[in-house]
């Protein structure tokens, strides 16, 4: 048993859930030790769980970090929210459950971090150009649910396919081989918060390899905007294929099947 595991075992586990924060928007290269080191510089970390896939060993862009002290270490971790860490090139998101926020006397992460955090990390990289959401979608966003239903009923079949109630996942295909997760994530963030992203390749020759990814957005509107805007968008000499998906689990095999 490692020293970390031993320390965690000795700790009172009755309040483990409220001593845990969620970190998202992590790149595929991030490992547990990166999070131990980064968050451990300001808080006492007991455990990091990246919920890796049993078959591929890959995580889905998020992790759960259990800390030692609710009142001291949880706020220290939350101050890392929307900060560019040392282990990747764009900001991470750090969240806590409502019960955790209530226990530390806060209503939101913003309230915990009401004083701007200074950091030695590099500033966030500028977002690359990304297609804007269709004007029709923006118009729909300003109407009520009944108006949306009527408007959607008059759209074409392709639009209806993307606008499925409850959708928050998008499949994006034909991505250039030169574009990796770190390079593509800022484009996705243009449409809203990303909970997870999983990218895979079909083929070994860089000139012909097809790269695809599944993206899970936090909101239905973000998923719809991304699927409508990125479908047919030219990137690196290739035309992207984007499609909103029904709420379901996905795997690397699913990605290759859809290619």
Q: Which residues contact 32 (CB under 8 A, 6 or more apart)?
A: 48, 50, 63
Q: Which residues contact 89 (CB under 8 A, 6 or more apart)?
A: 122, 125, 182
Residue 122 in any domain: the answer is no
Residue 117 in any domain: the answer is no
Residue 147 sits in the same domain as residue 248? yes
Residue 100 sits in the same domain as residue 143? no
For residue 138, count CB atoms less than 10 angstroms from its CB and return exposed for 0-12, middle for 13-18, buried for 19 or more: exposed
Question: How many domains does the structure of the chain reveal?
Answer: 2
For 252, other C-beta atoms within 10 Å of its C-beta total 17
pLDDT at res. 166: 53
Residue 79 sits in the same domain as residue 179? no
pLDDT at res. 3: 58
Collapsing DSSP states into helix, strand and coil, what is residue 78? helix
Helix (H) / strand (E) element for 135: namely helix 135-141
Cα separation, 30 vs 65, in Å, equals 14
pLDDT at res. 148: 42
pLDDT at res. 77: 94
Phi-psi region of 112 (alpha: psi -120 to 50; beta: other; left: phi over 0): alpha
| Residue 245, token pair as written in the block | 């998906």
Residue 207 sits in the same domain as residue 107? no
Residue among 233, 239, 133, 231 nearest 190 (CA): 133
Residue 65 sits in the same domain as residue 140? no
Q: What length does the chain have?
A: 259
Collapsing DSSP states into helix, strand and coil, what is residue 58? coil
Collapsing DSSP states into helix, strand and coil, what is residue 127? coil
pLDDT at res. 233: 86
pLDDT at res. 94: 92
CA distances to 60, 144, 164, 215, 225 from 220, rounded to whole Å, are 19, 15, 9, 12, 9
pLDDT at res. 199: 87
Rounded to two decimals, the pTM is 0.51
Beta bridge partners of 175: 211
pLDDT at res. 167: 75
Beta bridge partners of 48: 65
Contact present, 213 and 174 (Cβ < 8 Å):
no
| Residue 193, token pair as written in the block | 């918060």
Query: From first to last of its 259 residues, what are the pLDDT tens digits of the chain?
Result: 555 555 555 555 678 889 999 999 898 899 999 999 999 999 999 999 998 988 888 888 899 999 999 999 999 999 999 888 999 887 888 999 988 888 888 767 776 765 433 333 444 434 344 555 444 334 333 433 344 434 444 443 343 333 334 578 999 998 888 788 888 888 888 888 999 888 887 766 656 677 888 999 998 888 888 888 889 888 777 888 999 886 554 444 444 454 4
Per the structure, the complete domain to which residue 162 belongs is given by 135-258
Q: What CATH number has the domain bearing residue 41? A: 3.30.70.330
Residue 34 sits in the same domain as residue 149? no
Residue 108 sits in the same domain as residue 141? no
Report H helices in the chain. 3-10, 32-40, 73-78, 98-103, 109-112, 135-141, 145-153, 157-162, 181-189, 220-230, 252-258
pLDDT at res. 6: 54
pLDDT at res. 35: 96
Residue 126 in any domain: the answer is no
């Amino acid at each position: 048993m490692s020293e970390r595991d031993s320390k965690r075992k000795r700790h009172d586990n009755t309040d483990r859930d409220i001593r845990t924060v969620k970190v998202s928007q992590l790149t595929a290269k991030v490992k547990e030790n990166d999070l131990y080191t980064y968050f451990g510089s300001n808080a006492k970390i007991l455990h990091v769980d990246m919920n890796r896939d049993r078959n591929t060993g890959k995580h889905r862009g998020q992790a759960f970090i259990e800390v030692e002290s609710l009142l001291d270490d949880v706020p220290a971790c939350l101050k890392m929210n929307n900060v560019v860490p040392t282990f990747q090139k764009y900001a991470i998101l750090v969240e806590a459950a409502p019960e955790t926020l209530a226990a530390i006397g806060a209503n939101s992460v913003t309230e915990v971090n009401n004083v701007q955090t200074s950091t030695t990390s590099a500033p966030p990289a500028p977002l690359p150009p990304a297609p804007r959401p269709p004007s029709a979608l923006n118009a729909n966003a300003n109407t009520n649910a009944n108006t949306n239903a009527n408007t959607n009923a008059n759209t074409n079949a392709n639009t209806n396919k993307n606008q499925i109630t409850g959708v928050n996942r998008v499949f994006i295909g034909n991505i250039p081989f030169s574009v990796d997760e770190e390079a593509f994530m800022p484009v996705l963030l243009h449409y809203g918060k990303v909970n997870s992203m999983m990218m895979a390749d079909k083929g070994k020759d860089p000139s012909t390899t097809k790269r695809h990814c599944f993206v899970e957005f936090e909101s239905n509107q973000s998923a719809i905007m991304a699927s409508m805007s990125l479908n047919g968008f030219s990137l690196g000499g290739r035309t992207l294929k984007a499609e909103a998906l029904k709420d379901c689990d996905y795997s690397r095999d699913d990605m290759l099947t859809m290619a």
